[in-house]
Chain A
Amino acid sequence: MKQLAIIITSLLFSILFYDRSIGLNLSIFSLITIAFLVFYNPIKFKNKTILLHTFAYVLTAIFVFINHSYLSVIANCAAFFTLVGTVSETSSSIYVQWFNGIYTTIAGIIQRNFDKNEDTQKVNWKKDIDLAHWAKLIGIPLVFVIVFILLYKNGNPIFNDLISQINFDFINIQWVLFTVLGYYLFNNISKPIQVEPATSLDLKTENELYKSDHFSEEKLKKEKQLGTTLLGLLNLLLVFYIITDVMSLSSIETTKASELSNHVHSGINTLIASIIIAIGIILYFFRGNLNFYAENRTLKNIAFSWIILNIILIILITIKNQIYITSFGLTYKRIGVHIYILLTFIGLVTTFLKVLKIKNLAFLFRRNTQIAFVVLIVCSMINWDATITKYNLTKAKAYDVDYLIKLTDRNAVILYNLKDNIVISQENKNRIETKYNNYMLHLSQRDWQEFNYEIVANLEKLDKTKD
């Protein structure tokens, strides 16, 4: 029964993906995968964490259909690996779940067979020899028959004609191989496995920090003095930098793109350096016993104030980037800056929590990777090309039409709809029309496996294009 399930899903895999591009097929594949995992691991699917990851996977599958972007496909793959990893071990960190998920997907059956053979090696050795014997029995004569056919072909024209008439074209070997790939994939994920000792080590590692045996008050006092001096001076420096940055912010000319760009990029570089050093220094001082030192209050307060100052620095960069966006429109890089700022902010908040609640480095990695995963899923929910186009053409003071035309086809419809409301050259209008027509033609030629929301929404227009 279980083998039958794998065979059916591998056939479905071929029907969905063979010689097709991504679309509805990936969404259906996600649902099949969930059903398959539930069928093989019914008890595990009563766990809340697994249900949550299943929901995330379904969500990404829906957004693959709706947005049909590279980001949604990446998010879907990440959610797939996370779900498989969660089924293999529910309580491990998300990065270990990714690793377990990837390992299960690419080599699950090899590991499982190895584990099984290790236990039953003595019992099965005879069977192995039989297999080798059968391989020899079929393989060696086959090779020699083929060699002799090739030799005899040149010696006799009638024999040559007969051999040439043999035609295996009715068998699509590529389709068969693709189905074998599907079989391999589903066989791998049927019983998710764990990477050891990484998983057991991760399970043993707690989030809490504990006082070690080598607790020397004198040493800690010196370390605290060094930390207070260093962080105090850095605080002063950052305050001074923020004051000058606020002053420069008020004098920015929003008409000059190059000046704004320069402000944002130099600000981002400062931010990257500052945040990395800030987190590094804080992690160094609060790595061990200093967390339990009775007189660490001042150092903690200075560390907190430095984190808050870095958050102010983040806000300033956000304002600069937003001024840039309002004046010259959205681009992927500018959105990237906003996302980077968000992740940095989250990184600082988790560092703050680490110091406040006396957590270890594992806590920081676990929380940050979890949040990064959520951010990836949230970002995959948005059709960025359409958002950029709509914002630039309706709200931005200035925009680059060439940039908008060069974006992927996912903004073709919106660009076409808005082209008459904006002032652009006839040449650009023609380019937009060509892009739209090509996109419609491309959509109309798609098979059901490659369908996406845009096709469903534009069915009438597509029918006209077909005609």
Chain B
Amino acid sequence: MNLPGNLAKSSLLASVIFWIIIWSKEFEMNMMPFVLLSYIPIFLCVLIVIVASICPFFWSAKNEIYTKAQVFKMCFPYYTCITFGLCCYGIITSDYDLYFSAFCISAYITTNQSWVWFAKENTNTNSHDNPKQLINCEQHVTIEK
């Protein structure tokens, strides 16, 4: 699992989404230094969220016979529905506060995209590391055919 690469991409994506939403309402050139500085707390938030809520799915499947694509197909729908519900609840209870809404929206989109990045890196690397997964992957392809 390429966690550092995923974290770098996710935190960049989260920063972009977060600031685009805020700039849509209030934009000042003086905010720029804060935008650059905000990458640090955003990176920390992304790190905590991804390591605590997405990685366990892939780590737990490492010793099983499931490929990452299968983990994605099995767990992602439930994950995305729950996070969507939580983000909507947070936005509504914060009375549509701009900063909190931007945080929730960027968190939702980033976590979804992070799932895709984790799942996509699977086919070329992990299945070769784990022969069980390779067998399972081949079986999966045969069934699909």
Residues of A within 8 A of B (CB): 99, 102-103, 106-107, 110-111, 113-114, 117-118, 121, 143, 146-147, 149-150, 153, 163, 168, 173-174, 176-177, 195-198
Contact = CB atoms under 8 A, between A and B. Distances in A.
Contact of B120 (A102, A121, A177, A196): A121
19 contacts: A103-B81, A106-B81, A107-B76, A107-B77, A107-B80, A110-B112, A110-B113, A111-B76, A111-B77, A113-B116, A114-B72, A121-B120, A121-B124, A146-B32, A147-B36, A173-B23, A174-B24, A177-B21, A196-B74
Secondary structure type dominating chain A contacts: helix
Contacts of A102: 81, 84
For the complex of A and B, the 4 pairs showing the least CB-CB separation, nearest first, are A173-B24, A195-B77, A174-B24, A107-B80
A121 B119 CA distance: 12
Contacts of A143: 36
Nearest to A198: B77
A96 to B, nearest CB: 11
B89 interface: no
A147 B29 CA distance: 10
A177 B112 contact: no
Contacts of B124: 121
Interface string B126-139: 00000000000000
Contact of A106 (B25, B74, B84, B113): B84
Contact of B80 (A103, A168, A176, A177): A103
Contacts of B115: 110
A143 B33 CA distance: 11
Contacts of A196: 73-74
Contacts of A147: 32, 36
Contacts of B116: 110, 113-114
A155 to B, nearest CB: 15
Contacts of B77: 99, 103, 107, 111, 195, 198
Nearest to A128: B120
B16 to A, nearest CB: 9
B81 A114 contact: no
Contacts of A168: 27
Nearest to B30: A150
B24 A107 contact: no
B69 interface: yes
Interface residues of B, number: 27
Given A111-B76, A118-B123, A174 B25 contact: yes
Contacts of A163: 29
Nearest to A196: B73
Nearest to B112: A110
A177 B24 contact: yes
A456 B77 CA distance: 43
A174 B96 CA distance: 14
Nearest to A177: B24
Given A121-B123, A147-B32, A150-B33, A99 B20 contact: no
Interface string B104-127: 000000001101100110011000
Contacts of B74: 196-197
Interface in B1-57: 20-21, 23-25, 27, 29, 32-33, 36
A198 B124 CA distance: 28
Contacts of A103: 77, 80-81
A43 B23 CA distance: 44
Nearest to B83: A106
B53 to A, nearest CB: 16
Contacts of B73: 196
B107 to A, nearest CB: 14
B32 A150 contact: yes
A350 B103 CA distance: 46
Contacts of B23: 173
A459 B113 CA distance: 49
Nearest to A105: B84
A120 to B, nearest CB: 12
Nearest to B25: A174
A232 to B, nearest CB: 44
